[in-house]
Chain A
């Protein structure tokens, strides 16, 4: 569906995309994950030919993409990072306008617009001007304008930024539904939970480069750290902490603020061993948390920096 080969994009001296390669298959929800400024939006803009790139090749639907490839553009839907709607037009007029750029037939368009309104749950707001909508509803309108014409390939650039949890869930459910209906989705975000929850394959980007690509399981398997265990304690003598540090397979042990944090090597499970040591020394403990590795851990291990802001 999308093939990007050796893409280089420069803004003066700044290299926004550094020999970037990407392949997305039909029917995927592909996540581009990375911190702000990592090159996600630039990559999308290059794929859409909104930006000229210095080097490389972009193919969509097996054909080279360019600013004048209107036949390809017709099959694509774009949801911009910023809400890109006309402030002067109502919800229904905005959707009808953007759908009209792709679907000239009035009757067909009317049905598609209604479908998009139902899909995004904007039925009660069809006559509202954008300024009367909340942030979440505006984001939904932004999505409706991008998907009303039923594109085969949808680019969603951070569609949940500054959205309340209810609207976020609505949006994520909608994206899954679009994918089930046959659309291939390219989804960018710096919210790793969202990407993990939604995407079938993920690319982690940093400084314009693709640092890792795969399913979330594949990505987590790439790193040596595994499950993270947290135990709440009243007190922990140094000797017992040393004993715990001696357990084989633990890569990191910290104790601070009455909280013992341990990180296992990938595939390791030593909860019972740790709890046995605590019981043996009559150390009373409170709540125990066990967390599988996250994409942040993957990012941290690969790049040495946190993915979170």
Chain B
């Protein structure tokens, strides 16, 4: 296993560069997942808008009921009935909703010709619209009771408030798959694909470029070791390094999001791990192909980044697939990263584990493996061709340069 050990030492010598890449990627990944996590909150809590009720029609039971109903669902902000005060409050978002009840509103309401309530909604505030809906709901219901016939105002108000207090019970249930996958972890699993591809291409190209130097190749060919053994030990080292990178990245993922995955079905976590492992295999085959064309050590990082970025952008790792146009989606289906993203998307939305439900997941994973196999075969063919021609070429060079 001399070659195997030498390969490890070569990777070790590039440790600083790899560690730098790794750190940068990790910071980016963590930052991206942290920033995106807010957008994916799945918790529910009732919104309580800040409202202001200005009444210029005195204190009538109708308006008292409205105020009481609004207080139940929101937080009242008391303001003076002055234009400047109302404008300031609205500008500084002190209140989400201001309702100004005009003089004569009560009488007009019960005469069947209601006056319009003047409202001020804070721009881009969903809470303001919610408060407005509460007011409309209350008045509509009151109008309904009033239209029903000979009911006094007190009864109307109490009936309206009683009706509005009825709540439909909501129970949150998960079927089969436990808690949904934490969105941060899902995003991490998505981005990790890029890190895996870059790291593995860098490691493998370091090994390959060292062993493919013509003079070293010639010296190795003089040794009593079969060329197949040389290649086998290099591939084995590449595989071990890739698995180590995968394990490390997954461990970090669990260290960051493990506590938020406690309720998630273990089978889903297992499928995510399997999917990332398969993309690691894809990255290994990609690296074995790419490293055949990377000649100088200086071009390694550029080539690794270019390839990984291209595949990840096209494959929907950085940009969600549903945001892509039809033509781009057609092209992206020819990238293994598309199938990685698709598999991950399916896995994270699983609620049961029936054969039909899992079929798209297996299909996407098999597609990735098919890509890996195809790329690896191409790499083998090119490598064989290059070995034959390079062996010849390097020897001529040696002679003519002498």
Contact = CB atoms under 8 A, between A and B. Distances in A.
A156 to B, nearest CB: 13
Interface in B180-227: 206, 210, 213, 215-216, 218-226
A102 B399 contact: no
A100 B2 contact: yes
B402 A81 contact: yes
A81 B2 contact: no
Contacts of B396: 11
Interface string A80-93: 11111111110001
B222 A78 contact: yes
24 contacts: A36-B402, A37-B400, A48-B222, A51-B392, A71-B224, A73-B222, A73-B224, A74-B224, A78-B219, A80-B398, A81-B398, A81-B402, A84-B218, A85-B216, A86-B6, A86-B10, A86-B216, A93-B9, A97-B5, A101-B2, A101-B225, A145-B219, A146-B219, A158-B402
Contacts of B210: 86-88
Nearest to B13: A88
Contacts of B224: 70-71, 73-74, 101-102
Interface in A140-175: 145-146, 158
A11 B395 CA distance: 10
Instruction: Give the top 6 A-B pairs by smallest Cβ distance, nearest first.
Output: A100-B2, A101-B223, A84-B215, A70-B224, A88-B13, A74-B224
Given A37-B402, A81-B398, A88-B10, 7 more contacts: A48-B222, A86-B210, A88-B210, A101-B223, A101-B225, A102-B224, A158-B402
A85 B2 CA distance: 15
Interface in A84-129: 84-89, 93, 97-98, 100-102, 104
A50 B218 contact: yes
Contacts of B6: 86, 89, 93, 97
A124 B395 CA distance: 34
A73 B229 CA distance: 15
A40 interface: yes
B133 interface: no
A97 B9 CA distance: 11
B32 to A, nearest CB: 33
B14 interface: yes
Interface string B376-396: 000000000000000110011
A112 to B, nearest CB: 13
B399 to A, nearest CB: 5
Contacts of A40: 402
Given A83-B215, A84-B216, A87-B210, A73 B223 contact: yes
Interface in B125-168: none
A63 to B, nearest CB: 14
Interface of A: 11, 16, 36-37, 39-42, 45, 48, 50-51, 67-68, 70-71, 73-74, 76, 78, 80-89, 93, 97-98, 100-102, 104, 145-146, 158, 190
B227 to A, nearest CB: 9
Interface string B320-350: 0000000000000000000000000000000
Nearest to B2: A100
B215 A50 contact: no
Nearest to B397: A82
**Most chain A C-beta atoms within 10 Å of own C-beta, residue among B216, B222, B391, B400:** B222
Contacts of A41: 398-399, 402
Contacts of A36: 402
A104 B220 CA distance: 15
B13 A84 contact: no
B10 A16 contact: no
Contacts of B5: 97, 100
A39 to B, nearest CB: 8
A308 to B, nearest CB: 15
Nearest to B211: A86
